[in-house]
Chain A
Amino acid sequence: MTSTTSSRTTAAGGPPGGPPPGTLPISLPARARWAVSDSWTVTRRYLIHWVREPSYIVWGLMYPMVSVLLFGYVFGSAMVVPGGGDYREFLLPGMFGMTMMFGIGNTMMGVTTDAAKGIADRFRAMPMARSGVVVGRSAADMLNSVMDLVVLVGCGLVVGWRAHGSPAETLAGIGLLLLLRFAFIWVGIYMGLIAKSPETAGNLYALLFPLTMISNAFVAPEMMPGWLGTVAAWNPLSSTVAAIRELFGNPGLGGDSWIAQNAMLMAVVWPLVIVAVFLPLSVRRYRLARR
């Protein structure tokens, strides 16, 4: 791919260049190759960030560690699990789910900052695959999430949480968490693209905390006022948390509503619906240049 290009063009203002012959993707496989290679280049950008600024990652990992300790020991001693059982066993799956959702903040800030700095425009004015930037970003965020989850599970083990299910069930639980994270990455990318400035993105992010609380992560939705309990039960986070509690063999809340009965199904359906909505929206929004 490169050997033919160097004779045509030079970087030092020699003969003006165009695309190397045969580079412009006409066929579907050629387009797919572009999309993959461009996404990887963008993912690589974030991996280089981690290497150059490890503190960035370390601070990111502090958050789940501190919250496990905070909720596990500070609040945990004052709370009782409705169905009985150890509160920390009940709590940790909620923390896992919540951390997956909070990942949205990183994604959103990164996307908005790029737009504010003009680097997004540079990408747009380049002959890249249109999905490259957003897909590359989501891949990097997924890798980051895996690290988050490793730290989180490690902290959980330290404070006495255990997965009691079979290894396959445990893996399935981890898989559901990453699926939720994947879905919310696309929400984050979309919100990052529509936010006008990093400040707006910060404000949107602040709304997220109450949204994660209106769920079954800490208390049973049945204990909330009627309508709020319904909202909490239908929160995608609740389905994932209920499902992983079951898979990990941790104390759960049960519940008679349809949504509580079908947590396992909805833990798969919800994220897929979210991706189906927000992935095309994000790619589309990315293509439409802003003012």
Chain B
Amino acid sequence: MTPNGSAIVAEGLRKQYRQTRALDGFDLTVREGAVCGLLGPNGAGKTTAVRILSTLLEFDGGRAEVAGFDVVRQAAEVRYRIGVTGQSPAVDEILSGRQNLEMFGRLYHLGGTEARRRADALLERFGLADTGGKSVKHYSGGMRRRLDLAAGLIMAPQVLFLDEPTTGLDPRGRIEVWEAIRSLVEGGTTVLLTTQYLEEVDRLADQVAVIENGRVIAEGPPERLKSMIGGDQLDVVVADGGELAAATAIVARVCGAEPDVGHDTRRVSAPVRHRVATLTEAVRALDDAGVAVEDIALRRPTLDEVFMRLTGHRAEQEESA
């Protein structure tokens, strides 16, 4: 559809608010049909990037194309091809779900009949057909988010921006929204998803960009990012929390790296270079020291660990699961 097969191209985007530099040379390319997770802590510039790419915000430097159109000079073209779901559901509370979708359809200049037809189709698709006549204020959180997603899909957009689509939802609502997003991707829509939840990226994204201080510091498929930080992790869970210190010392020596220690989980983790040799040596050393081990295993790193290595701090302030 676009000449170079990229649905989103951002080059050197800069945006300055009074004192803070929100974006500082932000580069990102998302190929058509991909789900790109934009991952970063609060204040890293995620929302600013999404607002610029969805034509909502002027910026100070760089350029951006969405669906092959310049976001500044061809804003109307871009707006016809994108859907946006922000951090809070952007729907009218008094109108019914159906009336909301119909209103947005009219604002896309579809005319009343077509707007109604699409509203009904979307309500059906998002499991809101039965409640379509009710005022949105009687909807649950998950239902609102689904309606909000539906509103972003009236024009079957080429590119969908989802800014923290599940923040503040309970686990059930989160799963509902994830399912809705997955079904969209099957339809070929390109998705740019910002999130603080690594689990969300792990489940949905096939491309990840880690953003910090207004620029992308790492980018690639999740698997590649995971191998970037040194391949597999060694996990040791000790039977007795009192032996955690001893186990930590052994793991540090065997792996040659500072391990991550979870006191609640009695778990010691560190990256390993020589998979089997390290594992064998760790088992032997722990055995020699008389440390009772409940579990020991090699595993792929999580995105959380990738994030820690890249930025030096955790992405999530709160527990996501």
Q: Do A and B come from the same complex?
A: yes
The answer to whether A28 has its CB under 8 Å from any CB of chain B is no
B266 at interface (Cβ–Cβ under 8 A)? no
Contact of A126 with B79 in the complex, beta carbons under 8 Å: yes
Q: How far is the CA of A36 from the CA of B91 in the complex (A)?
A: 22
B89 and A118: CB pair below 8 A?
Answer: yes
Specify which chain B residues have a CB less than 8 angstroms from the CB of A210 in the assembled complex: none
Q: Mark A2-20, 1 if CB is under 8 A from B, else 0.
A: 1001100111111111111
- Contact at A11–B118, with CB atoms within 8 Å? yes
Tell whether A106 is near chain B: CB-to-CB under 8 Å. Answer: no
Which residues in A have their C-beta under 8 angstroms from that of B239? none
Q: How far is the CB of B187 from chain A (nearest CB, A)?
A: 3
Contact with A along B107-118 (1 / 0, CB 8 A): 111110110011
Count of residues in B whose CB is under 8 Å from the partner chain: 58
Residue from B88, B103, B153 within 8 A of A13 (CB atoms): B153
Do A44 and B107 touch (CB < 8 A)? no
Q: Known: A45-B103, A122-B90. Is A12-B80 also a contact (CB below 8 A)?
A: no
Q: Which residues of A contact B51 (CB under 8 A)?
A: 289
Q: Which of B52-60, B214-222, B226-234, B304-312 contacts A (4 or more CB under 8 A)?
A: B52-60
Q: Does A246 contact B (CB under 8 A)?
A: no
Chain A residues within an 8 Å CB radius of B82: 125
> A121 and B109 in contact (CB under 8 A), knowing A10-B156, A11-B122?
no
The stretch that binds B, out of A48-56, A137-145, A188-196, A232-240, is A48-56
Beta-carbon contacts under 8 Å, A19-35 to B:
19-20, 23-24, 34
Residue contact B156 to A41, C-beta cutoff 8 Å: no
Flag if B80 contacts A49 (CB, 8 Å). no
Residue contact A45 to B92, C-beta cutoff 8 Å: yes
Whether the Cβ atoms of B92 and A119 lie closer than 8 Å is: yes
Min CB distance B164 to A, Å, is 12
CB of B107 within 8 A of CB of A41, answer yes
Residues of B within 8 A of A127 (CB): 76, 79-80, 108-109
Contact B57 A289 (CB under 8 A): yes
Q: Most chain-A Cβ atoms within 10 A of its Cβ — which of B55, B58, B108, B184? A: B108
Asked whether B109 lies within 8 Å of A37 as measured between CB atoms, the reply is: yes
Q: Say yes or no: A10 contacts B121, CB within 8 Å.
A: yes
- With most chain A CB atoms within 10 A of its CB, the pick from B77, B91, B111, B186 is B111
CA A2 to CA B125, docked complex, whole Å: 22
User: A125 is contacted by which of B56, B95, B186 (Cβ under 8 Å)?
Assistant: B56
Smallest Cβ distance from A167 to chain B, in angstroms?
Answer: 38
A44 and chain B: residue at smallest CB distance: B103
Within the assembled complex, what's the spacing in Å between the Cα atoms of A116 and B55?
19
B156 touches A11 (CB 8 A): yes
Contacts of B81 in A (CB 8 A): 16-18
A10–B118 Cα distance when bound, in Å, is 8
B58-100 interface code vs A (CB 8 A; 1 in, 0 out): 1000000001000000001101111010111111111110010
Query: Is the CB–CB distance between B109 and A16 below 8 Å?
Result: no
In the complex, how many residues of chain A place their beta carbon closer than 8 angstroms to a beta carbon of chain B? 43
* Cross-chain contact B187 with A14 (CB below 8 angstroms): yes
List chain B residues, Cβ under 8 A from A41. Answer: 103, 106-107
Quick check: B56 and A12 within 8 Å, CB to CB? no
Q: List A contacts of B114 (CB < 8 A).
A: 2, 5-6
| B92 in contact with A13 (CB, 8 Å) | no
CA distance A1 to B95 in the complex (A): 26
- Known contacts A45-B103, A125-B54: A291-B17 contact under CB 8 Å: yes
B85 to chain A, nearest CB (A): 9
A89 at the interface (CB under 8 A from B): no
Q: Is A79 positioned at the interface, with any CB of B under 8 Å from its CB? A: no
Complex partner residue of A53 from B86, B94, B157, B184, CB under 8 angstroms: B94
Supposing A5-B114, A123-B107 touch, asked if A17 and B156 sit within 8 A by C-beta, the answer is yes
Minimal Cβ-Cβ distance residue in B for A24 = B76
Asked if B25 is at the interface (CB within 8 A of a chain A CB), the reply is no
CA distance A291 to B55 in the complex (A): 13
Q: B111–A16 contact, CB under 8 A?
A: no
B178 within 8 A of A: no
**Which residue of chain B is the closest to A52 with respect to CB atoms?**
B94
| A180 smallest CB distance to B (angstroms) | 28
| Alpha-carbon distance A127/B96, docked complex (angstroms) | 23
From B57, B87, B92, B107, A126 is in contact (CB under 8 Å) with B107
Please pick, from B90, B96, B156, the residue contacting A16 in the complex, using a CB distance under 8 A.
Answer: B156
Closest to B51 in A: A289
Closest to B75 in A: A127
- Asked if residues B90 and A117 are in contact (CB atoms below 8 Å), the reply is yes
Q: Does B183 contact A (CB under 8 A)?
A: yes
Given A1-B109, A45-B103, A288-B58; A13-B79 close (CB under 8 Å): no
CB neighbours (8 Å) of A122 from chain B are: 84, 86, 90-91, 104, 151
Report the bound CA distance from A15 to B156 in whole Å.
7
Please tell me which one of the listed residues A10, A12, A14, A20 contacts residue B109 in the complex, with CB atoms under 8 A apart: A20
Q: Give 5 closest A-B pairs by Cβ, nearest first.
A: A13-B187, A11-B118, A2-B111, A118-B90, A122-B90
Contacts A10-B156, A127-B76, A289-B56 known; list 20 others, CB within 8 Å.
A1-B111, A2-B110, A6-B114, A9-B156, A11-B117, A11-B122, A11-B156, A12-B125, A13-B156, A41-B103, A41-B106, A45-B103, A52-B96, A118-B90, A121-B86, A124-B55, A126-B108, A127-B79, A288-B58, A291-B17
26 contacts across the A-B interface (CB closer than 8 A): A10-B156, A11-B118, A11-B121, A12-B156, A13-B125, A13-B189, A16-B1, A16-B188, A17-B81, A17-B158, A18-B67, A19-B109, A23-B80, A48-B95, A49-B95, A52-B94, A52-B135, A53-B94, A117-B89, A121-B84, A122-B84, A125-B84, A127-B108, A289-B57, A289-B58, A291-B17
